[in-house]
Amino acid sequence: MTYVLALLVIAALAYVAWRLMRTDDVRQGTRVIGPDDDPEFLRRLGSGGDRP
């Protein structure tokens, strides 16, 4: 019974490690640009309005 429990713990740790490694690959795929990353938006915001 102890061996079965140890095997389950090792399998769970391996699964968690595998999932953590996969999330790093997914995160690097796309990047969303928000308004604070847009220099034109910040320039318009600093000039007092949404006028071009």
Q: In terms of C-beta distances under 8 Å and separation of at least 24 residues, what long-range contacts does 18-26 make, across chains too?
A: none
Tell me the average pLDDT of the chain.
77
pLDDT at residue 15, rounded to an integer:
94
pLDDT at residue 44, rounded to an integer:
77
Would you give the DSSP letter of residue 49?
Answer: S
* Res. 21: pLDDT tops 60: yes
Dihedrals phi, psi of 4, to nearest 5 degrees: -65, -45
pLDDT at residue 40, rounded to an integer:
79
